[in-house]
Structures are given as C-alpha cells and as structure tokens.
Amino acid sequence: MTRTDLLVLLPVLILAVSVVAALLAITIRRSHLATVGLTLGGLTLAFISIFVANSAAPRQVTEVLVVDGYALFYLGLLLAASFVVAVLSFGYLRNQRPPREEFYVLLLMATLGAAILACSSHFASFFLGLEILSVALYALIAYLRDRKLCIEAGLKYLILAAVSAAFLLFGIALVYADRGTMAFAQLSSRPVTPQPAVGGLLFPAGLAMVVVGLGFKLGLVPFHLWTPDVYEGAPAPVTAFVATISKGAVFALLLRLFQAVGGVASGPVFVMFSLIALASMFAGNLLALRQTNVKRILAYSSIAHLGYLLVALVAGGSLGIQAATFYLVAYFITMLAAFGVVTILSGPEKDAGTLEEYHGLFWRRPWLAAILTAALFSLAGLPLTAGFLAKLGLLAVGVGSSRWLLVIGLVVSSALGLYFYLRIIVTMYQPPEAGTEPATSRSPLPLAGGLVLGLLILLLVWLGVYPTPLLEVIQTALAQFV
C-alpha cells in the first residue's frame, strides 16, 4: 500500500473511521442528535473526498480493489442516498422507543459494505463487501424488535441471504477451480484448466451459481420471494436502503463482473439473463396488481425495475452501461422520494402501509401527496420525469442491440404497471370520508425530511427535462472504466 493507494481509498477509509467514531461516541454519551450529526458528517466528508480521490484515479489497489471513474461515481451515488436515508431515519426514530443510536452505526456499516462492492475487482473483496452489507442489514431490518413483522422480515432475510451466500461461495470455488484466479480482469484471459471429467463445465456452472447468489440480493425472479415480505416488515427507512443502496451496489458490481468476462452477448448466459429479465418484468408488475399495501406494491415494482435494468446488461457495451447507470440514478431518486413519504406518514406503532391510510391524502397533506404522485409518475415512466428518460435509454440500447423480445417485454410490462401506480394516485386524491382520518395525518412535517424530499422532487423533474449534465458526468466517469 502506497500513499497514492490510501488517497484513492479515502472515501472508503472515512466511512470505516465514521463507524468506529459513532461506536465510541455512543459509549461516551448517548445522544440521538449527536449520533445522527456524526453520521451525516462522516457521509459528507466521504462524499467530498471523492473529488480528492479522483485526482489519483484510475488506480488498481492491490489485486482486490479498483478505484476508477466508474467506482467513484457509484460511491458518490451510494453516499448521497445513504445521507438521505439517515435524514429520514432521524425523524422516524424520534417516535420510536430507545435505543436509537446503534441504528446509525449499522447504517454506516451497511454503506461501507456497499462502497466495497462498488470498488471490487476480485471475488474476495466482492464477498467481503457483500457480507458486511448483509450482516448490517439483518439487524437493520429487525431493528424495531417490538414489532413482530420486523422480526419476521429480519429472519426471512437472514435465512435466504445465508442460502444465497452458500450458492455464491460454491460458484466462486468452481470459477477458481477452472480459471485459477479470482480477479475479474483475468477471468477471460486465463486459459481454461483442462477438466475432461466434467467436460469444461466448471466455469459456466460456477458463473451460474454466482448469478443465483446475486439474483437473491437483487430480488430477481425466481429469487424474489423474500422481497415483498421484507419490504413490508422492515422499518420504512431501512426499506428505502434495501430498495436503493443495497440493490444498486450489487448491480454495479454485476455490471463490472460481466464487463470483465466479455458481457452476455451470446450463449447460455445470454439466454439465462434474458429469461430472468422477462420473468422479473412481468411477474413484478402482475403480482403488484392485486396488492393492497403500498410497501408491497413498491416491492413488486422494484422486481420489475431490476428486470428492466437487465436489458442494459444484456445489450452490453459502453452504451448499455451508461443507460444502466442513468437508470439507477433515476431509480434511486424516485424510490427514496416514495419511501420518504411512507417514512414521514408512519407512526410509532406501525408504518403507513395499507392503501386505506393514503385515502384522501391530498386533502390532508397536499405536499406529501404531490411528492408521492411525482415519484409514482417516474416509476411508471411518464414524461417530464427522470424515469421517462431512463426507460427511454433502456429502450434505445435494447433496439440498438436488436434485443427485440426484451424491448417488447419492457414496453408491455410497463403498460401493465400503470394500473397499480394510478390506483395509488386515485386513492390519494379521493375525498376522505368523515371519521376515517388516520392519527398521523395532521402530524407536523419534519423540516429536514421536507427539505430532502423537496430536493429529490426537484432532481426528479430536472433530470426529466434537462439530463445533459448528468449524462456528461456519467460519460466522463465511464471513460475511466478499468
């Protein structure tokens, strides 16, 4: 490790120091406000240090980590999203029973795991980052231990994550047995070790098992069964974290991994990803049609959106990675806005999940109803929102690479999704019935949460009208893709 190596790793190192600092601060004096201030300060410093690290990028730090424009862009996205989750969590946890401070330690730890995933160029760092992220998420999901749904969601995520880790480890072992390396960059260049007993199937079988493990983390069909239960049971800010930071970090690694092995342009891997993409698009949208819980609707929606993202992965090339990156930015902003509204509307006993709790929301909280409406429009891919241009980008790369079946699937399944998004919107704008107003409907809007949500909606509309600056940043970052 040299001084330059430490410089490019500065954002990750600041995150790690922030975790330790938060732990020490809690042992000295418990203070919810001080802990969240320390958390936000650490995330801000880590974000600022990205510009310092960029001066020495791209750089391969040992064999396990690479810090290039791609990694730094995703680090910035993950840190910004974690900042938003921390702000929303402050208002949410004030209404909950103590202890509250450990929540932010776990949040920082999960963000650290996601940051390692964004910089991984080796299966060892990949698995380490994934486990740091997952172990912190087990506790975050079940953090409100007085709620039965939280404990149930945490237990389900623990069991299925352990199963996916087993698939992942066995797949990595098969890949290493065949290629003799775990570095992504060497997987396609290393000669295949002769394996006459298995007919040279070790590498594709190992890669398939790695995809199974990643499929669990991303909530793709047929590995999606945990998603609606965990989304419904987890505290609302944690659900926002799982839907954005957790899945975004894993997908960023998936893009780097398959870019290193030559993409998925043909062969069994192409067929596998195409089937998973189509199944995720249609299953996610169809299963959401009859749901009556907003968090479960957003869960099934996230399954469909990850299926849309696979179109860019299958299309491959630099344009595919650019389209996927822009889509992830739009998806992050939209999901954080949607779950931000759910977080603010949630009470101390339960989260605002059922559709009945959103009935007539416009007449009680017009500001929150407008934010959720904009977020749902973006998820549906309607014009003047970031979601529209993001989905248009996926269609463009799909058409450009002649992936016609995936393009048709994206269009048809998106049309199906309009129903349940409009269903929530119609419910919010219906006049409320007398005596049915929820207890939390008149609670004051937290200042910090309101400012964050306002900024998210401005970004949502701005990127839908004028995306050029973001596209230029993405292109510059991907020019350093190692």
- Reported as a single tens digit per residue, the pLDDT across 245-274 is 999 999 999 988 888 777 666 677 788 888
Q: Domain for residue 159, yes or no?
A: no
Give me the pLDDT at residue 109, please: 95
In angstroms, how far is the first alpha carbon of the chain from the final one?
19
pTM of the model: 0.93
Averaged pLDDT, 326-336? 95
Per-residue model confidence as pLDDT tens digits over 5-31: 888 999 999 999 999 999 999 999 988
% of the chain at pLDDT higher than 90: 56
Task: Tell me if 37 is assigned to some domain.
Answer: no
108 domain-assigned: no
pLDDT at site 455: 93
Answer yes or no: is pLDDT of 46 > 70: yes
In a domain, 470, yes or no: yes
Number of domains in the chain: 1
Is residue 339 within 8 Å of residue 239, measured between CB atoms? Answer: yes
Q: Per-residue confidence at 442, pLDDT binned at 50, 70, 90?
A: low
Q: Name the band, by pLDDT with cuts 50, 70 and 90, for residue 449.
A: confident
Residue 438 maps to a domain: yes
For residue 193, pLDDT over 70 is answered with: no
Give the CA distances from residue 195 to residues 108, 190, 200, 205, in Å, rounded to whole numbers and listed in that order: 44, 14, 5, 13
Domain with 464, as residue range(s), is: 263-482
Sign of CA dihedral 470, 81, 365, 389: positive
The pLDDT of residue 185: 81
- Asked if the structure places residue 347 within a domain, the reply is yes
Does residue 84 fall inside a structural domain? no
Confidence of residue 197 (pLDDT cuts 50, 70, 90): very low
Q: From CA 119, how far away is CA 249, in angstroms rounded?
A: 10
| pLDDT at position 443 | 60
Q: Domain for residue 473, yes or no?
A: yes
